[in-house]
Structure 1
Amino acid sequence: MKKAVMGLVVLVALLLSGCEEAVFEGTVAVVEAEESILIVEPHEGESIRQSGTLVSLSVPEDHTYEVGDTVRVTHEGPVMESHPLQVNLISIKKTSGGSK
């Protein structure tokens, strides 16, 4: 019975470790409002820059961004190493710049 419980604990830990959230800050470089797409350039020193310098994000339609806005992006799962990079967006928050 102990082995079964330990196996279950290990399985849950492995599943949860694959769903880790990651956060980076960057500057909006391109706004494609019609498709609700942003291209964000992560700031220097952000770990995601090891994979690339631009990240494409599908954002909720009720959010408005402008080129030059600084944003904080929370995402999960693997970074899709296309150009620009793509991530599974959890949330995005404007930290400075123009309107909401």
Structure 2
Amino acid sequence: MHHIIAAIKSGTDPVAPLPPGAFTRQLEEPVYCPKCDVYYLLIADYEASVNKYFPQETRRHLSLLKKAVMMGHDYGHRVTHFETNGVVVTRHMPEKTVLPPIPKRVM
């Protein structure tokens, strides 16, 4: 069966659309990153996630997401949203905000 699971950094909003489906469900077991001490919440389609065989069918998805979270440190902790379909992991980074330069004198 075709599953799409998203891992979203706790305390942030999704950067891209969530997995397709009428309703989404947050899975019980988040992915923990020990390097930056942050949890990534796992989001999946509700109908697929209540299936009897969901844990066995998504084992590969979860291992890919865990590996992507660990490898996400190469991007300076800017990746807040990962998504996988079991074959490839997509990174979604928030747009970089450009701040104006600091004035040389205070008014």
**Higher share of residues assigned strand:** 1
Q: TM-score, normalised by structure 2?
A: 0.31
